[in-house]
Structure 1
Amino acid sequence: MSAALTLSAPAAAQTAARLEAASSLAPAAVPGERAASAANATGADNAGNAENADNAASLDSAFDARQRVLDQRSEENNYRYAVAEHDCYSKFLVNHCLNKARDSMRSVQADIRKEQLALDGEQRVQRARERDEQAALKRAQDEAGAPQRAADDARNAQAYEDKQRQHQLDQAQRAAEAPQRSANAEAYQAKQQQHALDQAQRGISPSQAAANSQAYDQKQADFQRKLDEARQQGAQKAQERAEKQQTFEKKQTEAAQHKTDVEARQKQAAEKAEQKRQDQLKEQQQLEEQQKQQQQQQQQ
């Protein structure tokens, strides 16, 4: 029993030293996180995402450091067992020596396994926390954008209904004006016939009358074309003004939403930093308590 304690004492001391070195990596990231929180207070655009990335990288670095410590302890434990097993074959009580070496190796292996399970559990909790945070952020973004989407849908539906009503009014108006258009066409034909008779009485030939009529029609067509172009340009400018107004309103809404999102991310980042600090203090206290217990066991 005393031999097992003598063997495990250096391993415990090495374990405590490695755990202390690994735990020192996590607090080293605290100033960086505080600096990121201070940068968030300035209202930077991507500060929340940058701090979350820094926090995740810091935790991953701490987990990797602890994993390396456990891996090294496992290798050292296997090496010590191999050396002890080799030395046992040169002793008189071979089986007794092998059993003691195996028991010592399994004892250290059990401690390493216990710490490995604890580390795996912390990593699972961290990954679950990150997934929950991403899901919460996504839900918040969806909820924040819901009023805008509802407003857009309502505006589109109202525009479609207005367009349908205007189309019905135009059809009704064309139907109501159909008799007047028919009467105007008949009056025009009668006027043309009377004009032809007048020209014949004045001695104007049909070819000359046709040329005059063609010139008149061309003049009217040019006037109508210019009138249509002016109306089209006016409608286009009106549409451009409406689109600019919609763009301005959209930018205003997006700016307000962005401000709300930044404030929410800043609040979440501050709460997370405080929670992490509390967790690190708690882990440090637990580590110190374990070191004290190990020192007491060694003294006993």
Structure 2
Amino acid sequence: MFFASCASCVMAATLAMSAPAVAQQSAAPLGAAGSLAPAAASGARAASAADATNTTTGTGAGNAGNAGSADNAGQVGNAGDADNAASPDSAFDARQKVLDQRTEENNYRYAVAEHDCYSKFFVNHCLNKARDSMRSVQADIRKEQLALDGEQRVQRARERDEQAALKRAQDEASAPQRAADDARNAQAYEDKQRQHQLDQAQRAAEAPQRSANAQAYQQKQQQHALDQAQRGISPSQAAANSQAYDQKQGDFQRKLEEARQQGAQKAQERVTKQQSFEKKQADAAQHKADVESRQKQAAEKAEQKRQDQLKQQQQLEEQQKQQQQQQ
């Protein structure tokens, strides 16, 4: 009994001496737990509300996705495909949000349990137990995360299959039009080829005539040179005459172009003068209308003033008559 009491006293003294160190070691987990407390508290409330509906929502979304896949396989281009694709995505997002909240809550609970373990006697046993509990919940969350990822992959594969089926249906629907376009393009190409062959044959048939024309032109040039030689015109003089003729033709064309430009300029000036005249006429008419309007307003004012004066004069005469009658 004595030895037992002494052992208990020694143990109590050891715990009392190690209490400040344990408190210092637990300060960091406590700060982490305190920082996680608000977020995890809200996450716990959201998780408790979402867990109640997750079972029915997740199961219903999975069944709806399976039923939708069967219907979409038989009906390509259904008007409800967009709604069926949007609903699983929203259900997946909701379930992912719940899993994230559960992960935050699990981490918060582990931080709180780890902090509480430092105030107990069997610290390592408590930490191992808290870690095992955290890992168990983490494993459950991991299983649900893997299941959710698998459902998302199946949904994406189903959507890809539906898009591929829709693309195939569109290709099959547009196949006759593409075939008609290809046939029309092939026919146009063949027509062009035949026209090209006809053009080549025509040029080949016209080749002797072109050769004869070139030969006749060459003979005319030679005859012209002989005629000039007989008239005593040297080749240099003929070249000078040709240059002078070309210069005269150039001068004539230049003068003709200048005359055309001057005519166009005069026509533009006439149009400008006509527009200016019309504008002046319109301004004069507007000025006349303004003057007449001002004169009319002045006459009306004068008439109103005259009427006012007559009324005042009548009032004075009536006042004078009343004064005379009173006297």
Indicate the TM-score class for this superposition, using the shorter chain for normalisation: 0.3 to 0.5
TM-score by length of 2: 0.39
Decide which structure has the larger Cα Rg and report it.
2
TM-score, scaled relative to structure 1: 0.42
Q: Which has the higher contact order (CA 8 A, sep 6+)?
A: 1
